[in-house]
Chains A and B, each alone.
Chain A
């Protein structure tokens, strides 16, 4: 286990005191609607990055008319620079699984599936043993806690594609197909795994649920900002003294993060991984919040010695590699953007062509089929804009 695997700061929300199994017992005493309203009042939003309200997703899944429903835990943590879900799975698996059980009870699903990224396959045995324990403790299986409720969880390994973090590509992969996004609509809450209503939730999202059930939405709302309740796990890497996982309240500024992690001479921060935005020092007063800079949790810090063009090239190479190849804008567009970066690198470009590529990037943002292609031009646009002096003066 390397240094960054350790939890550097346990905040007061996700890592607050919690008795294993207690939330499931409490939830099963509640009406399904009560749980939905509690989650709704808590304002919990998806922690994978997109920030979709959890209660809405669950409500739609619950309302869908079908023989079967599924809860899928998205543990395909693939955004470059994020490793917080791994920490939750390793050190707090009960929170994840209990969140799934409560979700299953709430929407009326009998099956939960954890889609575990291939790179975390070393966790498989540990997690399966843990699920076995839950079965023994009657928190999984039939008549859970003596109630008329049945739920079980199994784990399916991914095969290493970044795009499978996108929920519909994840479902395709679960079904044994090429991991490629589907058309939306229909959304998974209506037509998901095997065509059945499916709620796909991030590891961290599910881990928040047991706390909300036990401590209530009012308690949860005490943390964070008005529009972003609770806390966020962030994985900090790059040029800082204390990389690792931190639980911070929503509303934390980038400057505070620099201070927490002991970063020096920071030139830029990439928030939200490769698909996020790259901000210069002049923006470090801004906050992590759905209403300001939303993030799935990846924060990369770059100090003054870093070449931002090299950073950008690295990101674009990543997207060229990870585009699923299905839709035109993403499959070819990313290649064109990377070529543009290489042109700048070789000092063989015209400003007009680079502008044309930025324009192309804007098309990709609205024309690509899924979030991958819609966000992959972000670093191209934000780095070339925010660091234009450095990049173009040198070149």
Chain B
């Protein structure tokens, strides 16, 4: 099961931390890159909404300071996502995932709508709680196997990773944005600023896909 995402295409070593690109991780990395480029070059849409109590509609505008902050957070989210997609180190993966959670909150926290802010606050609490099992999983992997390298852990000679560590890793990722906590973001998804809001849902799906591979690799 060492080639779950296809045969690795190349390795990029940073000391003892190895980043690797397999067809699977490369696909996810490229998608994160494409949507990050969209965030950089596109301007937000003007969302049309109904004016209740009148036969009228209005367009929601995003102010320049709000746009700048949300774009910064969305770019940070994209970069964290790209890191999470290709890293070959369990601790780095958990670090990038927690960064994705923080950025997701930041992307929508600047929206001046009560419901959206409320959803962002609630999601922030879940993401905060999610970091506990996330980093606990990395600590357990290091304590039981003596390494955090996915490539070493994937080799048949490596000591087995406890099931509880894998379960905590999945639970942590779920807390950072995957289903069912993901549904808490419904209010966030309808916030104006499509290029930035999409980064929230994209990052959630990407980290879910990557954790699937990581859990099967360990």
Q: Are the chains A and B members of one assembly?
A: no
Task: Report which A residues bind B (CB closer than 8 A).
Answer: none
- Interface residues in chain B, defined as those with a beta carbon under 8 Å from any beta carbon in chain A: none
